[in-house]
Structure 1
Amino acid sequence: MGRFNRTLFSVVLSSVLLGACVSNVTEKEQYSGFLPNYSGLKEETSPSGHPVMRWVDPSFKPRTYSTVVFDKLQMYPAPKPNERVNKQTLQDLQTYASDYTRETIALRYKLVPDLRSVPSGQRAMLMKAAITGVSASNEGMKWYEVIPVAAVVGATSAATGHRDQNTELYIEASISDAETGKPLVYVVRKVFGQTLENDKQAITANDFKAAIKELNSDLSIMLNR
């Protein structure tokens, strides 16, 4: 192979590898169907500095509400545990995320579990949220790996399960006016937990505790605008 062809091959290979890096947001094909509408979502930056797909009604003013209707995060669609994400992990994630979200909401609003519990005369928001996916994927190629020899070695390691893996948690949520049903907020977010050593290591709820805390910090800022 001539020098020009080798150079061209290196450039093409580098582009492919860089393009294969893990996305920081949920891709459209990963939307679960939990939300009634995804068309208005735009990539924005959360208060904590992370990318998020979000739509917010321009007229939404959280402080005009006094009550939030929220029970717990759902698992949507029906979870299918496997050897890396077992049933206990899914239950622990649901419990931890739900408890933390309730605590966050209760710091500013009266929290009730259903529409029937909204106090008379109070203006309420209805919040629905779901864990729509838990997974792990090989970390993207680092810039220093994008040369012909190192890239081949890196790709081989990924294929054989030796590359570090990102743990990923997918969340979808909506907020609407509890009385009128008017949509106020749609959010689709992908958060990263602890890094695993390989594709054999099991995923646990502990891997996502810091990420869930950060999610709720962003929620608190949004609800206190």
Structure 2
Amino acid sequence: MKPLPRATLLCAALLALAACSSNRVDPSQYSGFLKDYSRLKPAESISGAPVMRWVDPGLDASQYRQVFIEPSQFYPKPQPTAVISEQTLQAITRYFNEALRRELGSVLTLVQAPGPGTIVVRPAITAVSTHTEGLKPYEVIPIALVAAAVNTAAGGRDQATDVAVEAAFLDGGNQKVLAQVVRKGSGKDLENDTQQLTLDDVKPVLDGWASDMRRSFVALRDKQH
């Protein structure tokens, strides 16, 4: 078999590296859900995941004892597909609500309406998508590249799953924005482009987001004591 040109291999390697670093949301992918993106800066979540984030430098977390969690929503409203059904989309928002209530409710008192001493959590899932998985580093060799191309053409290649969220945290008394975050996560890979996405495929992502919100609040509160 004739070796592939070195430039082709280099391009494939770069694509593979790009795929590995794609878990930070690019500004071109912002949904418009948040009112102001200009203050967001690259950062790491408390679990080490890449995020875009802003926290009011004057925030005193210790003054907040309660949390009001607005129902999570999709923004913009998604269109179901053959792979991502309306039932799955509804299940995702319901489960994210439960995860947020479980995690934040363990360190703050859940309330039914905003007010003084209350943090308002305003979350939106801004993307749920599947796409053909990028080449893995070990595939950046001539024989594997050919095999991967054939598999992709036949629709048999793994499908990567991406989920993105944007969230604002407000003071329940005066509606001042206290913090904002934009982040993306990867769910379980689907076997091919016809396998349907289920809630179980993205549950770990949703659980991780909710856990990070709780851990970040606790860390900030403890640091200020």
SS at match of 1:26: coil
SS at match of 1:179: coil
Distance in 1 separating the partners of 2:96 and 2:17: 33
| Residues 136 and 165, structure 1, Cα contact 8 Å, conserved in 2 | yes
Corresponding letter in the other structure for 1:215? W
Aligned pairs for 1:76-95 within 5 A: 76-95=75-94
Distance in 2 separating the partners of 1:14 and 1:69: 46
Distance in 2 separating the partners of 1:15 and 1:46: 26
State the TM-score, normalized to the length of structure 1: 0.86
SS at match of 1:196: coil
Please list the CA deviations of residues 34-74 of structure 1 after superposition, one character each: whole Å capped at 9, or x if unmatched.
11111222222212221111111122232221222213111
The offset of 1:219, in angstroms, is 0.9
Aligned pairs for 1:89-104 within 5 A: 89-104=88-103
Aligned pairs for 1:1-225 within 5 A: 6-16=5-15, 18-19=17-18, 23-115=22-114, 118=115, 122-224=116-218, 225=220
Give unpaired runs (5+ residues) of structure 2.
221-225
SS at match of 1:107: coil
Corresponding letter in the other structure for 1:61? D
Corresponding letter in the other structure for 1:189? R
RMSD between superposed Cα atoms in Å: 2.3
How many aligned residue pairs are there?
218
The offset of 1:12, in angstroms, is 4.2
Percent identity for Structure 1 against Structure 2: 38
Give unpaired runs (5+ residues) of structure 1.
none
State the TM-score, normalized to the length of structure 2: 0.86
Distance in 2 separating the partners of 1:106 and 1:15: 43
The offset of 1:179, in angstroms, is 2.3
| Residues 71 and 113, structure 1, Cα contact 8 Å, conserved in 2 | no
| Residues 14 and 147, structure 1, Cα contact 8 Å, conserved in 2 | no
